[in-house]
Amino acid sequence: MGTVKTAQEIQAMREGGKILAAVLDEVVRRVAPGVSTLFLSDLAHERIFAHDAKPSFLGYQPSGSASPYPAALCVSVNDEVVHAIPSAKRMLKEGDIVGLDLGLWYGGMCVDMAVTVGVGAVGATAQKLIEVTRQSLSRGITAVRNGARTGDIGFAIASYVEKNGFGVVRDLAGHGVGYKVHEDPLIMNFGKKGTGEQLLTGMTIALEPMVTEGDWHVTIDRDGWTIRTRDGKLAAHFEHTLVVMDDGCEILTEL
């Protein structure tokens, strides 16, 4: 069951969300051929601390994980869907697409956000994949309001993605957020209208469609973190933290 936050807690998430959006925007502007994925993570780490916040992914170890996540920023390239570990040896190349997933703690509350961007000039399929994923998040957001069901969100996301010829990852999901990095409810990126947990005003949730160029099945690397498409095709990921309102929602991770 998702938790309803107080006005004070939502305000802390609102302030933290603006910090997160500003930091991620700064990271995005440094994406270029020849830049290492570790450089981007280190930059995010530095900028989070400069805003008196703390990275929420660094040291995060959910139940069942063999080791804690070792960086502030998840930097997932091309067929990597989410949670790829940054490396000084991993250099971005012209034509890559890169998913940047970042979370932070501010005022005792957690917020979460992700974007996918092209590195230099990218191909037409990659451009379409990024834009469809971005728009699918917007479709999911329009389904959020007091009394809505999580299945309404999943239906809105998947129907748009599949209409555009792409796949929706079914082994990963959006989630509640605020007191923890991941809370209830689980919000799948596919579903049936009128099913799932009911949303209530004051709940804070993270919607994050993960969309694939080809088949939606994924595998996990030996590092225990990096999740990639099974068929080796491209993937994209967008995410916002929201607060449910009586008639719609407020996006907390916007500049």
Residue 83 known to bind ligand = yes
What are 217's two structure tokens? 């099945």
In the chain, where the domains are located: 7-251
Position 155 scores a pLDDT of: 98
Mean pLDDT (the chain) is 97
Residues 50-98: tens digit of each pLDDT: 999 999 999 999 887 879 999 999 999 999 999 999 999 999 999 999 9
Position 78 scores a pLDDT of: 98
30: left (phi over 0), alpha (psi -120 to 50) or beta: alpha
Contact 107, 51 (CB under 8 A): no
Rounded to an integer, the average pLDDT of 26-48 is 98
Position 119 scores a pLDDT of: 98
Position 65 scores a pLDDT of: 81
- 81: helix, strand or coil: strand
Of residues 239, 180, 189, the one with CA closest to residue 218:
189
The residues with which 77 forms a beta bridge, in sequence order, are 98
Whole-model pTM?
A: 0.97
Residues 140-187: tens digit of each pLDDT: 999 999 999 999 999 999 999 999 999 999 999 999 999 999 999 999
Q: Which CATH superfamily is 7-251 part of?
A: Creatinase/methionine aminopeptidase superfamily (3.90.230.10)
Rounded to an integer, the average pLDDT of 209-237 is 97
Residue 51 known to bind ligand = no
Position 165 scores a pLDDT of: 98
Position 1 scores a pLDDT of: 87
Residues 225-240: tens digit of each pLDDT: 999 999 999 999 999 9
14, 136, 225 from 132: Cα distances, Å: 27, 6, 25
Residue 183 known to bind ligand = no
Residue 175 known to bind ligand = yes
Residue 15 known to bind ligand = no
Position 63 scores a pLDDT of: 83
Burial of 73 (0-12, 13-18, 19+ CB in 10 A): buried
Position 66 scores a pLDDT of: 79
Position 56 scores a pLDDT of: 98
pLDDT above 70: percentage of residues in the chain: 100
Residues 95-117: tens digit of each pLDDT: 999 999 999 999 999 999 999 99
Position 85 scores a pLDDT of: 98
